[in-house]
Amino acid sequence: MPTLLSSFAWLQQAHDPSAAGLMGLGCGFILLSVIVGVVLPILCFWRIFSKAGYNGALALLCLVPGVGMIIVLCILAFGTWPNERRG
């Protein structure tokens, strides 16, 4: 009966430079995806909230899984912007 460690025997094989390069490329792609998919929208919404007169930290609602982006868009679309009240 094979053990759990024997099923991961491929991890103990000799180092393959091409596999290491491919893993590095995959890690770089994941990092770029996180930056584009998480950090960039937060920065953009922070700027929009600030220009609208809200606290920019409301952009962190984007981090709420599932409904965060919907909440942010509803605040911006249906809320009365503080800048409109002033001028």
The answer to whether residue 18 scores a pLDDT higher than 90 is: no
What's the chain's average pLDDT?
A: 86
Q: For position 46, what pLDDT does the model report? A: 97
Q: For position 3, what pLDDT does the model report? A: 61
The more confidently predicted of residues 65 and 14 is 65
The more confidently predicted of residues 1 and 15 is 15
Assess contact for 53 and 81: CB atoms under 8 A. Answer: yes
Domain range summary for the chain, segments of one domain joined by +:
25-86
Of the candidates 34, 32, 41, the residue with the CA atom closest to the CA atom of residue 68: 41
Q: For position 20, what pLDDT does the model report? A: 78
Q: For position 78, what pLDDT does the model report? A: 95
